[in-house]
A and B are shown apart, each in its own frame.
Chain A
Amino acid sequence: MTEFDPFEMCRILNDENVDYVVLGGFAANLLGSPITTRDLDVIPDRAKDNLDRLGRALTRMNAKIRIAGEPVATKIDGPFLVNMPHMLNLVTDFGDLDLTFTPAGRAGDYAGWRLHSSPALIDEGLVVEVASLDDIIDSKQAANRAKDHLSLPYLESLRDEIRRQAGE
């Protein structure tokens, strides 16, 4: 079993100067959600140069395409990523990594998610952009999947608690 190590994945993404925002369950954890996750969800900027850098980062992580059964090894570079319309589920040496290009919800594309994201220090010398809790909740509501229905009460209670502590 591969140990889930989102820190190393983010470190490599940062190392290659990839522009991305962390969203999904791990972003929710960073914000205070108690629901554990075993994958890292990110939305990368779709600019060509950025996808080239992302391709280099994925090669360093030994990323393979995650499908039912054995993962598929293929060259995942900028030109390959340009042709990915919505999402790409990957398995890496550091756990599962999901690239999402068009997440559900109002935030829309990378620029929309980046608008409300905040930088967070998640490990020594490792700063990542984390999606806002409002955008994560909105996206999960819009996605409307069974797993989202399970996590939404926790995220809404987290938002209530953060507001209560802020005296809102």
Chain B
Amino acid sequence: MNQPHNPNEDARGVDVGQIRELLRMSVAERAHEMVRVANLMAKARETAHLGRTVKS
């Protein structure tokens, strides 16, 4: 089955739209945004892990 094509995806399969959005920010804004997301993802992983541990 064909997957819907993302118009922002380049030949490498990278979403360039995301890169463009980051390039529109100042360096400091980018830094804070990426750190915020990294901490959020880590927290989500930890919560999921705790959930699995409690269930088992």
Chain A partners chain B:
yes
Instruction: Please list the residues of chain A having a beta carbon within 8 angstroms of any beta carbon in chain B.
Output: 1, 3-7, 26, 29-30, 32-34, 36-38, 120-124, 153-154, 156-158, 160-162, 165
Q: Flag if B41 contacts A120 (CB, 8 Å).
A: no
Interface residues of B, CB < 8 Å — how many?
26
Q: Flag if B27 contacts A5 (CB, 8 Å).
A: no
Residue among B16, B26, B43 having the largest count of chain A Cβ atoms under 10 Å:
B16
Q: How many angstroms from the CA of A5 to the CA of B26 in the assembled complex?
A: 18
Shortest distance between the CB of A47 and any CB in chain B (Å): 27
Instruction: Please list the residues of chain B having a beta carbon within 8 angstroms of any beta carbon in chain A.
Output: 10, 12-16, 18-20, 22-23, 26-28, 30-32, 34-35, 37-39, 41-43, 46
Q: Flag if A123 contacts B18 (CB, 8 Å).
A: no
Q: Flag if A121 contacts B38 (CB, 8 Å).
A: no
Q: Flag if B27 contacts A120 (CB, 8 Å).
A: yes
Q: Flag if B22 contacts A34 (CB, 8 Å).
A: yes
- The answer, among B15, B27, B41, for a CB contact under 8 Å with A121, is B27
Q: Flag if A32 contacts B39 (CB, 8 Å).
A: no
